[in-house]
């Protein structure tokens, strides 16, 4: 796989050794058990897969390349390049300005743009109408388009099933940048497109597929989540499911299986292939690996779990959901959220609230902590969290000692 030119300050000597150790120990990626970092009074169970993915490293390389190649020019990001506050802050401090926020609301008017300006397209892609708007202004976006290739793979799948006149169901968050980008392309390829957030919302559609609820009710319930003129009598006859690449893989499969079963019940097994397009999983490899690795953590015994990443990061939020199945989990954006050994500030994802928890570290001889991060989180942030927590304990092994142990283990494999 390609090695990207990512700024060194996003790297971590410790985390690099962890990843190198696991690559040697488990080259075929079959073992999802965590790596144990034993600092004595505190032990970290590090997920098998975590941190920057291919698409994120590609995006960071292109964004910093845009800065290097265009001194003196105004450089804009269409929206957040990735959902990590530290990375976006770094770019902002280097002079990059954001045209829109993560929900697509305007921060800087497009009227201010000139053909001499540089506009970087984020890893999530961009809706076709925005790309046309930029092109009409004479702004070329091809050189600094950081769209993830795994997002583009979903677009190709959308085009494929759209050509066979299937209504496209997108499993995603309808206001997420990636889903908006995918929606815009699906709307070109298919007669009708609709976005569902989860299995529960998917089941609501069955009332319309079976004719138990009216067009008027549909228009109210799925307003802004479907293409204009969506006809429940016409557009629920042939279905195909794609997704936002960062959603839970298991839920995407459940949604696809659900709609397939509805089509079988309505049209019969012998006719179901004419009414449901079986699409292979369109989640990216990093989303799959990170979720599988987090499920692997659930087989471990630990006192708490810490997940590091941006609070608006979809892929990170799903890692939080998985960890919460077993562990008391703290979702933080960086080590700055850990105020002291007695207080941590964190994001309560299920309730979408910021919270503070006192005495979050157990008072015992040895504390075991699950730790992982989202695909847009720099490794350096994970090391900073480990260093911060280590500082709360006495007689902690030095970082260099733990690194040497990993190096020794790597050399014996």
pLDDT at 393 over 90: yes
Under the banding of pLDDT at 50, 70 and 90, the label for residue 250 is confident
Nearest to 29 by CA among 407, 289, 376: 289
Would you call 178 a catalytic residue per the annotation?
yes
Please give the Cα distance from 237 to 277 (Å, whole number): 11
pLDDT on residue 340: 95
What are the chain's domains?
A: 8-53+287-412 (3.40.1010.20), 54-144 (3.40.50.11270), 151-283 (3.40.1010.20)
Q: What is the 3-state secondary structure (H, E, C) of the chain?
A: CCCCCCCHHHCCHHHHHHHHHHHHHCCCCCCCCCEEEECCCEEEEECCCCCCCHHHHHHHHHHHHHHHHCCCCCEEECCCCCCCHHHHHHHHHCCCEECECCCCCECCCHHHCCCCCEEEECCCCCCHHHHHHHHHCCCCCHHHECCCHHHHHHHHHHHHHHCCCCEEEEECCCCCHHHHHHHHHHHHHCCCEEEECCHHHHHHHHHHHCCCCCHHHHHHHCCCCECCCCCCCCCCCCEEEEECCCCCHHHHHHHHHHHHHHHHHHHCHHHHHHHEECCCCCCCHHHHHHHHHHHHHCCCCCCEEEEECCCCCHHHHHHHHHHCCCCCEEEECCHHHEEECCEEEEEECCCCEEEEEECCCCCCCCEEEEEEECCCCCHHHHHHHHHHHHCCCCCCCCHHHHHHHHHHHHHHC
pLDDT on residue 412: 67
pLDDT on residue 1: 60
pLDDT on residue 287: 83
What are the structure tokens assigned to 391, written together? 């500082």
pLDDT at 137 over 90: yes
Query: Under a CB-based contact definition with an 8 Å cutoff, are residues 271 and 232 in contact?
Result: no
pLDDT on residue 284: 76
Please give the Cα distance from 280 to 164 (Å, whole number): 16
Give 63-121 pLDDT, tens digit per residue. Answer: 999 999 999 999 999 998 888 999 999 999 999 999 999 888 999 999 999 999 999 99
pTM of the entire predicted model = 0.90
pLDDT at 36 over 70: yes
Query: Under a CB-based contact definition with an 8 Å cutoff, are residues 137 and 113 in contact?
Result: yes
pLDDT at 386 over 70: yes
Catalytic position from the list 57, 178, 337, 383: 178
Mean pLDDT of 113-138: 96
pLDDT on residue 231: 97
């Amino acid at each position: 796989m390609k090695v990207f030119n990512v700024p060194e300050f996003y790297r971590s000597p410790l985390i690099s050794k962890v990843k190198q150790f696991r690559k040697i120990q488990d080259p075929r990626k079959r073992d999802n058990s965590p790596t144990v970092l034993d600092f004595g009074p505190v032990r970290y169970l590090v997920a098998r897969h975590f941190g920057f993915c291919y698409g994120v490293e590609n995006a960071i390389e292109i964004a910093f390349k845009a800065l290097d190649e265009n001194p003196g020019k105004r450089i804009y990001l269409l929206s957040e390049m990735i959902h990590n506050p530290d990375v976006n802050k770094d770019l902002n401090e280097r002079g990059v300005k954001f045209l829109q926020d993560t929900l697509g609301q305007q921060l800087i008017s497009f009227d201010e743009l000139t053909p001499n300006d540089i506009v970087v397209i984020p890893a999530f892609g961009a809706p076709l109408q925005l790309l046309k708007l930029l092109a009409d202004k004479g702004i070329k976006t091809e050189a600094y388009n950081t769209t993830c290739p795994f997002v583009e793979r979903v677009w190709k799948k959308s085009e494929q099933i759209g050509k066979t006149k299937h209504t496209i169901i997108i499993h995603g968050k309808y206001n997420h940048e990636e889903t908006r980008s995918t929606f815009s392309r699906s709307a070109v390829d298919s007669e009708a497109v609709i976005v569902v957030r989860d299995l529960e919302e998917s089941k609501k559609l069955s009332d319309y597929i079976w004719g138990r609820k009216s067009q008027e009710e549909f228009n109210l319930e799925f307003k802004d989540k479907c293409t204009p003129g969506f006809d429940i009598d016409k557009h629920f006859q042939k279905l195909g499911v794609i997704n936002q690449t960062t959603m839970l893989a298991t839920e995407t499969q459940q949604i696809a299986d659900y709609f397939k079963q509805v089509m079988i019940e309505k049209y019969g097994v012998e006719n179901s292939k004419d009414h449901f397009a079986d699409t292979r999983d369109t989640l990216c490899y990093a989303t799959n690996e990170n979720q599988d690795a987090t499920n692997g953590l659930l087989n471990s015994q630990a006192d708490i779990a810490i997940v590091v990443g941006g609070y608006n990061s979809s892929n990170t939020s799903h890692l939080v959901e998985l960890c919460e199945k077993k562990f008391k989990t703290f979702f933080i954006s960086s080590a700055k959220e850990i105020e002291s050994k007695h207080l941590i500030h964190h994001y309560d994802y299920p309730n979408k609230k910021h919270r503070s928890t006192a005495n979050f570290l157990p008072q015992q001889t040895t504390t075991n902590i699950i730790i992982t991060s989202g695909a847009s989180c720099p490794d350096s942030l994970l090391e900073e969290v480990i260093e911060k927590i280590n500082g709360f304990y006495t007689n902690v092994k030095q970082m260099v000692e733990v690194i040497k142990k990993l190096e020794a283990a790597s050399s014996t494999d």
